[in-house]
Amino acid sequence: MTKTNPGRFFEDFRLGETIVHATPRTVTEGDAALYVALYGNRFAVQSAESFARAIGYPARPLDDCLVFHVVFGKTVPDVSLNAVANLGYADCRFLRPVFAGDTLAATSQVIGLKETSSGKTGIVYVRSRGTNQHGDAVLDYVRWVMVRKRDEAAPAPAEHVPDLPAAVPVAALAQACPPIAGYDLALAGSPHRFGDYAPGERIDHVDGTTVEEAEHQLATRLYQNTAKVHFDALAARETRFGRRLVYGGHVISIARALTFNGLGNAFHVAAINGGRHVSPLFAGDTVHAWSEVLEAAPLPGRGDVGALRLRTVAAKAPCGDFPLRQDGADHPAVLLELDYWAILPR
């Protein structure tokens, strides 16, 4: 009997099963510092202990995307070790802040299964939940991933595709952050509050970031994400791309960091309504980003902050012409389309 974990293949999943993931991870100030080194995030709430405490947090919270990646990484050995690609996200809710010293653990429930038309792979839908050391939920989200079959001739399980909401309701965001007061725009680095943005507005974030091979692998290791497609160059030669793929979450974090230029006071990602990895990213590519304001929503019972529903698009080209669709299809430069709610001071 082998003592190693080959990972699950599509035919190993069962609808409704719950998977408890190893291993819990205590996040530290070192994780936060390395995250900044990888992406250059400049949002004041996550950058300065003094700023966070001054506006109402008990301490400086960890970056929301860092929390997402750590919880996501816990799920990889059981869900996507044999993945071809991570396809999308929905109904992702950041339920409470995470601070240095907290310990994160994860569980997932299989909520959908669908064999692809080729018969070589299948799509697995899971709802994953991250909890802290007190058992409090800090994150809850759905993702779907294309997973290889061990035996292409194996019969497919009964198909079930879950019905997912188009967006997290605004009412669910009201407790997304503590009451905010004394927000210093000068220290935050942007003069624009919630009321300065309007639906339909588009923002070219101007800057670009070139992805290095060592950086994306270091980032993926930081999250203890063991997916083979990110590390094993020898095995990657046999894939249709012939090389390692950059972890999709790396693209999300790059795009989020780039949005600071234009959305510098969008200090908290409260929810991700949906997301698509439109095309793969490779080392050597340069990522740019633009955002569109889809909706501006006051939060029930909150006069201190409001929520912007944003579409942020990451692309392998400058975004002055706001690439998204071309001739009825995805624009060839687009890497990521992310629909999310961000919190800003009023």
With a CB cutoff of 8 Å and minimum separation 6, the contacts of 324 are: 313, 330, 331, 334, 337
pLDDT band per the 50, 70, 90 thresholds, residue 329: very high
The b-or-e profile of 64-100 (16+ CB within 10 A means b, else e) is bbbbbbbbbbbbbbbbbbbbbbbbbbbbbbbbbbbbb
Structurally, how many domains does the chain consist of? 1
Of 21-35, 62-76, 239-253, where does mean pLDDT reach its minimum?
239-253
The neighbour count for residue 6, using CB atoms within 10 Å, is 10
**Separation between Cα atoms, residue 319 and residue 298, nearest integer Å:** 29
Instruction: Tell me which amino acid residue 189 is.
Output: G
Type of residue found at 269: V
Instruction: Summarize the confidence of residues 218-239 as an average pLDDT.
Output: 88
Q: What is the CA angle 57-62-66, rounded to 5?
A: 150
Instruction: Supply the pTM of this predicted model.
Output: 0.95
Is 80 exceeded by the pLDDT of residue 1? no
Confidence (pLDDT) at 84: 84
4 falls within a domain:
no
Mean pLDDT computed over every residue of the chain? 95
- CA dist list (Å): 33 to 5, 36, 66, 192: 32, 5, 11, 27
Q: How confident is the model at residue 132 (pLDDT cuts 50, 70, 90)?
A: very high
14 in a domain, yes or no? yes
Rounded to the nearest 5°, which phi and psi values hold at 99? -120, 160
Neighbours of 186 (CB within 10 A): 7
**Could you tell me which residue, 245 or 296, shows the higher pLDDT?**
296
Structural contact between residues 92 and 142, judged by C-beta atoms closer than 8 angstroms: yes
Domain carrying residue 167: 10-345
Cis peptide before 259 (omega within 30 of 0): no
Q: How far apart are CA 64 and CA 69, in angstroms?
A: 9
Q: Are 173 and 299 in contact (CB under 8 A)?
A: yes
Residue 175 has pLDDT above 80, yes or no: yes
Q: Is the residue at 5 inside a domain?
A: no
- Quick check: is 191 in a domain? yes
Count of residues for the chain? 346
Give the tokens for residue 64. Answer: 């929301």
What residue ranges in the chain does DSSP mark as E strands?
18-20, 25-26, 83-94, 103-115, 121-131, 137-148, 202-210, 268-277, 286-298, 305-315, 325-326, 329-330, 334-345
Whether 322 is covered by a domain: the verdict is yes
Q: Which CATH number does the domain housing residue 248 bear?
A: 3.10.129.10
pLDDT digits (tens, 9 = 90+) for 29-63: 999 999 999 999 999 999 999 999 999 999 999 99
81 belongs to a structural domain: yes
Residue at 2 is within a domain: no
Per-residue pLDDT, averaged over 66-91, amounts to 93
